[in-house]
Amino acid sequence: MLPMHSSASLWMSRSHFVTPADWPDSVAFERFRGWLIFDCFVMMNSHGAAHYDDNRHVFEAIDTPEDGGDLRNAVDYSDVVGFLVGSHVGKPEGLPVRSYADLYQTFLELSPKKRAAIEWFVSQPPSPRRIDPLYGRYWGVQHMIILIESLIGPPPICEAESTICKTCKRVPPHHHQVSRREWLRQELERRTASPDLVEEYVLLIEKGISIRNKMSHVPTFDRSTLPAMQTGERASYDSSRAIYEFESDTYALDTLLVALQQIAHALIVDEAFNIKYFREPPIIKVAMVG
């Protein structure tokens, strides 16, 4: 049982990171940090990163990795793809079998840019370790948009030669062959092969970009509130409702942020581990309990 910031406790798995005895502490600590990033991403567990950020991890030498702990929630590490794609209960059909060890070896061989994308995703705000009344969801949206645009990349530069300005004698900056929005759509179509899904993704990403652009120029804060609901009342939030009501409705903003996180995660899984699993954006259901 590990303590949480709410003064409650939570069942967590205990993992041991085993290194050669002759490794310096600095090397072991660096490798531990890299493994923690991998584990949080593959197992979709944000608590490990939160505890690390709060200096709640323990770094010590032990004789054996067997600690006699409770194994009732042990995971089958011979195939963790279900965890990797966010389906903890029941692996979706058509996905390959990939062990935890196999994925970790792949992670170690990734380019610095791809590993940085995984670390950026894991470090996303707001953190589950605390309630964030100020540093909140808009920062989370901006964080995901930076990542998604990095994964998609910029449109190709037009190779046509630019003429020199007759007045100032300067060469105008290069321009792109297609618009950024059209390039976004093309790249999503190439990766997902689902026109309907692509259109929904584009609308969500475009809305996220508009929030990021506004934040880049003027102070912009989350002013949404929880809607007034009667006891027993239920509500459902899809992509459309998230896009049009995020400014006023906190549940809609939550839906937008979760959808962008899901898109970014799927893009990384495809690019880093060569596993394609793009799904419909989430529909968040809420109810007022008396």
Question: Per the domain annotation, does 174 fall within a domain?
Answer: yes
User: Does residue 1 lie within any of the structural domains?
Assistant: no
In a domain, residue 165? The reply is yes
Which range of residues forms the domain containing residue 283? 111-290
Residues 67-89 have pLDDT tens digits of 555 555 567 788 999 989 987 77
128 belongs to a structural domain: yes
Residue 216 included in any domain: yes
Q: Is residue 105 part of a domain?
A: no
- State the pLDDT confidence band at 10, using cuts at 50, 70 and 90: low
pLDDT (tens digit, 9 = 90+) per residue, 185-208? 999 999 987 888 999 999 999 999
Return d(Cα 41, Cα 82) in angstroms, integer.
12
Q: Does the pLDDT at position 172 exceed 70? A: yes
Count of domains observed in the chain? 1
Which residue has tokens 């003429």?
Answer: 163
pLDDT in tens, 127-146: 555 555 666 788 889 999 99
Which residues neighbour 59 within 8 Å (Cβ) at sequence distance 6 or greater?
25, 28, 29, 32
* Mean pLDDT, range 19-38, rounded to an integer: 88
Two tokens at 56?
């709640």
pLDDT at position 111: 95
Over residues 210-238, the pLDDT tens digits come to: 999 998 898 888 888 888 888 888 999 99
Within 172-277, where are the H helices?
Answer: 180-192, 195-217, 239-245, 250-273
pLDDT averaged over every residue in the chain = 83
- Residue 20 neighbours by CB under 8 Å, 6+ apart: none
* 39 in any annotated domain: no
pLDDT of residue 3: 62
Residue 157 CA to residue 24 CA, distance in Å, equals 46
Distance CA 151, CA 147 (A): 6
CA 82 to centroid of chain Cα atoms: 16
Judge whether residue 118 has pLDDT over 80: yes
Residue 26 has pLDDT above 80, yes or no: yes
Identify whether 33 is part of a domain: no
224: left (phi over 0), alpha (psi -120 to 50) or beta: beta
pTM: 0.84
